[in-house]
Structure 1
Amino acid sequence: MADQEERNALLDNEEEEESDDEMFQLVVHEEIADSDEEDGEDDETGDGRERGNDGEKFDRALPATHSYLGDGMDELSGRTVLDSEKEIELPLLPMYGVVLMPGETLPLHLFMPQFVTMMKRCLEGNKTFGVCTIKSGSDTDEFSDVGTTAEIFSVKEDTSGGIHTMTVKATGRQRFKIISKRRQSDRVIIATVSVLADEPLVARPAVAFACPRELMLAPCEQVVNTGERGKDGCVTVSKGKAKMLQQLRRDPPCLSPLPSWVYRMFDPFILTHRVANELLAWSQNMVIKHQSDNPTEFSYWVAANLPLDDTLRLELLMTNSVIYRLQKELDVISKYSSFCCRHCDAPIGHKDDVFSMSVDGALASYVNPGGYVHQTLTLYKVTNLSIISRPVTQDSWFPGYAWSIAQCSRCHSHMGWRFTSSRHGLRPSKFYGITRSSIKPAIVQPQNGDEEGGKSRMCRQS
């Protein structure tokens, strides 16, 4: 009889635990709905967009430091530049869902002995290794033919618990093409690669006028007819030079035999300006880097920040022409409408909701405690997502925010996280981080036979 009572008590406990689990799922979804309604009372959009000047604004420089990796990292100096068009040997780090661009920061948690050994050897040499993208649905021996060298600039080793681990921060440097590869006895992949160089840019005709580059890129309303420099950073020139500049901007090929429209299509600085304007048309909260410094660096920064699938991203990485890369980016940005779930095509977000939570841009690489690197896009608002965990502040990529796991409400695949402020008054109050590998872009395509250039939305299959 006592055994029977014990058995009944255990069954009752199990039923209560199951009921609690079900209740937790219901409470989570109810909290989302309530939160949106509450936000909607103070905010027309019902999302995490900043309204007014009240509260503490988040410091966008914090995510770029990757402070969640912990203290005690050794900073390394120096820069390694590999000779272009020469064959060299590089140790390779194949990665899922990561297409590294030159200039992009790559954080790593390494646990596997072969990769820890590989990094230690890199530190003894030129601190450089190669990063390649593993093809979807394949093993680690099948990866892209092109990749990017990564140079270690910060490192920390840990032997606690009897396991040798390594935390690394590296920067993407130069593109390369794999010629051959082999696997060593320690399972490290060594590849013979040819370093790819970008085609040199031709000096623009504006140089003949001794016209500074920033004048050519400055918006028309910022060109002031005075001889002083504006306190707000506006470019100011004399009346005569302003008139000359306006003529040059209207008809830039005045020193070129090419027609005006051809010139504008192939001038890298004009393309840079047009791409930046298209990005700002998405959102005024986009951080634009390298706009007037270097078209080559800017083209890579744009490629790193666009939420594209691996196919498009690798296409941008492969090209040696900066001009073609900028043209391709301009074409994609102008047609980009939204993005959907990679697995079930459920609409997830719109380009208008993309914003920069980091000084590096709207999309950046972050690593979780398990060592998985996620290239993550930040948005104010999303659709068709379910939150399946309680908020947690530990190991948060964004200091002051708690993360909750988000999955597609249709196919239940992992999509990313919702971040909610854990400090009162911190702005934005909430936002979403969606992994690039979980989405695919919806490109607006022209319809055949539409005289007015009608367009339809379609998701690009990855």
Structure 2
Amino acid sequence: MDDDRISERERLQIEQIMELDLEELLVEEVDDLQDSDSDDLHANGHGYDGGGTSSRFTFNTCLASMHTYLGDVEDTHHRVAFLEGGAILNLPIFYLQGVVLFPEATLPLRVLETNFIAAVERALNQVDAPYTVGVVRAHMNPDNGRIKFATVGTTAEIRQYRRLEDGSLNVVTRGQQRFRLRRRWIDAEGVPCGEIQIIQEDLPLRTPRDACGNLAPYGGLHDRSLPYMPPSNDCSAKSGGSRDVDNDSEANSDESFEGSLSLTERRVHQFAISSTPGYNAIDESTSSDDEKSEVQFKRSHQDTDSVGSLHSEPENEDVRLENSPKSRMQSCKGKQPINYWGNNNINHLRKVPKAFWPSWVYRMYDSYCLAQRAADLWKQIVGAPSMEGLVKKPDLLSFYIASKIPVSESTRQELLEIDGISYRLRREIELLESVDRIRCRNCQTVIARRSDMLVMSSDGPLGAYVNPHGFVHEVMTLYRATGLVYRGPAVKEYSWFPGYAWTTINCATCETQMGWLFTATNKNLKPRLFWGIRSSQVSDNTH
């Protein structure tokens, strides 16, 4: 009997040793696959080349964006018209943890609870906004441990749905418009509802053509490199001569420019003129503000006339003779100063294009300039194909980058709440320039760098996916990650990426569930493996 017990104990020990050896072999195999595959992807621009895909990248990224794991879903063949900004209406509301939905982004849903099934049914049949639900981010308040709801969300149009035998629903939605949540309640059927107000989106800002003009702004009058002509009878003041400036645009006249300014801006504008070199105090006996402005204009625009003389030629011989050295000498001898500021010259100078601020100030808020800069930064990080189409639509580009940028969900909620395209783009540019490391939210362990991002879906490197239990996860895909350990066997069923098996991964330091490791089930599929990290587990600390 004892011998049987000993042999049984030995047999168990041998099996455990064999399991450990097998586990070590599996770890080594995964590491080898990761190293070789990372080199391939790194050498080929994260799975993309100039044509859009690498020769070593064989996965069809369109499959992930189709959410094939949901099975056959029927198209509703209904497209929601955009609601007018400021419109107020009631909608069924989905409160989702770990999700921030942006306009034009795809959101899959696995609806299991009775009240949410009723919410979808109501959305399909409502009159005001058919096929539309509201999506609001919900998160845990660390101070009191209670659920907190965001006040800004996005309407979602139901594009596809399928009713299963157990009564549950598979739904694919698409973000439409931002809204503010005015109030919320649960009706008699248990359906979460909310009164929302559609946010009026601004139009993309472009620097007006007549804002900067063709010449330097008023700030250029302070340039010491330009010739200076003090308004006096001294002979040195007459060396510049009078020149005509050709500009037929009345929109750039001095009256229209100053007339478009507020009282405060006009004062700053006039102060900028009066502070130019050579300015003399205005005679207090001047009868009106208009006359004072004209005197300021005459005295301060002598430098502008000098600028014009660098780009134009005298129109006739009389002007040439008038500006000749001999003519200037005769004028000095006769003590008769030449009148350089006749009425005609003043009228011409009033038409000179002027800018209140330097051109770089306008570019700071030019939506199209900001869109081009953001697109260039995004392409450097992701290596995605050309985004010229989105650059021409700065509003859509700002939402696209905000929905894909590798930052925490709280930062992405911040981007959703920013009103103004130029302000949102400026914040995204700041993030794209500063975001470098992807860290665990709990222990701040560095998981990856932004250069490790991998595009495994035609929707981009970050997308929303839903599991069989109805939990939606926003996942960023990486071709390289560190500080992670995987738990459990690889599972092929219900994979978000067809042809890949998934394994749960945890942070090696704090054991937080960070996402999944995806490994190819077909040896011809590239990449052989990649990582999916939940954005809800990513830290705000990006340095």
Distance 1:312 1:17, change over 3 A: same
Which residue of structure 2 lines up, in the alignment, with residue 199 of structure 1? 202
Aligned length, in residue pairs = 393
Q: Does 1:314 align with 2:413?
A: yes
Distance 1:270 1:95, change over 3 A: same
User: Which residue of the other structure, out of 139, 149, 154, is the alignment partner of 1:148?
Assistant: 154
Residues 287 and 356 in structure 1, CA contact (< 8 A), matched pair in contact too = no
User: Which residue of the other structure, out of 380, 393, 396, is the alignment partner of 1:297?
Assistant: 396
Unaligned segments of structure 2, at least 5 residues: 212-352
Which residue of structure 2 lines up, in the alignment, with residue 109 of structure 1? 110
Which residue of structure 1 lines up, in the alignment, with residue 536 of structure 2? 437
Instruction: Tell me how far apart the structure 2 counterparts of residues 295 and 429 of structure 1 sit (CA, whole Å).
Output: 36
Which residue of structure 2 lines up, in the alignment, with residue 185 of structure 1? 188
TM-score, L = length of structure 1: 0.76
Match runs of 1:387-398 below 5 Å: 387-398=486-497
Distance 1:11 1:82, change over 3 A: farther
Instruction: Tell me how far apart the structure 1 counterparts of residues 456 and 394 of structure 2 sit (CA, whole Å).
Output: 23
User: Which residue of the other structure, out of 398, 401, 416, is the alignment partner of 2:500?
Assistant: 401
Distance 1:196 1:404, change over 3 A: same
Give per-residue Cα distances to partners, 1:42-65, cap 9 Å, x unaligned: 759699955996556222222111
What is the one-letter code of the residue matched to 1:29? V
Q: Which has the higher helix share?
A: 2
SS at structure 2 position matched to 1:152 = strand
Unaligned segments of structure 1, at least 5 residues: 209-253, 444-456, 458-462
SS at structure 2 position matched to 1:311 = helix
Instruction: Tell me how far apart the structure 1 counterparts of residues 16 and 406 of structure 2 sit (CA, whole Å).
Output: 39
Residues 337 and 351 in structure 1, CA contact (< 8 A), matched pair in contact too = yes
Deviation at 1:289, TM superposition (A): 7.6
Match runs of 1:322-341 below 5 Å: 322-341=421-440
Higher relative contact order at CA 8 Å, sep ≥6: structure 1 or structure 2? 2
SS at structure 2 position matched to 1:426 = coil
What is the one-letter code of the residue matched to 1:186? E
Deviation at 1:334, TM superposition (A): 0.7
User: Which residue of the other structure, out of 157, 170, 174, is the alignment partner of 2:163?
Assistant: 157
Give per-residue Cα distances to partners, 1:84-112, cap 9 Å, x unaligned: 21321111110110011111100011100
Which residue of structure 2 lines up, in the alignment, with residue 31 of structure 1? 29
- Report the more deviating stretch, 13-22 or 147-156: 13-22
Deviation at 1:267, TM superposition (A): 0.6
Match runs of 1:56-455 below 5 Å: 57-125=58-126, 126-137=130-141, 142-159=148-165, 163-205=166-208, 257-285=356-384, 288=387, 290-443=389-542
Give per-residue Cα distances to partners, 1:355-404, cap 9 Å, x unaligned: 32212111111111121111111111111111223333222212222222
Give per-residue Cα distances to partners, 1:254-309, cap 9 Å, x unaligned: 88543121121111011000001111222424674852331111100010001222
Residues 401 and 421 in structure 1, CA contact (< 8 A), matched pair in contact too = yes
Distance 1:44 1:111, change over 3 A: closer
- Report the more deviating stretch, 16-25 or 329-338: 16-25
Distance 1:323 1:43, change over 3 A: closer
Q: CA RMSD in A?
A: 3.2
Q: Which protein is bigger by CA-based radius of gyration?
A: 2
Distance 1:269 1:401, change over 3 A: same
Distance 1:38 1:131, change over 3 A: closer
Deviation at 1:25, TM superposition (A): 4.9
Distance 1:288 1:344, change over 3 A: farther
Distance 1:404 1:141, change over 3 A: closer
What is the one-letter code of the residue matched to 1:95? L
Which residue of structure 2 lines up, in the alignment, with residue 239 of structure 1? none
Distance 1:189 1:19, change over 3 A: farther
TM-score, L = length of structure 2: 0.65
Q: How high is the sequence identity, in percent, across the aligned residues? A: 30
Distance 1:396 1:287, change over 3 A: farther
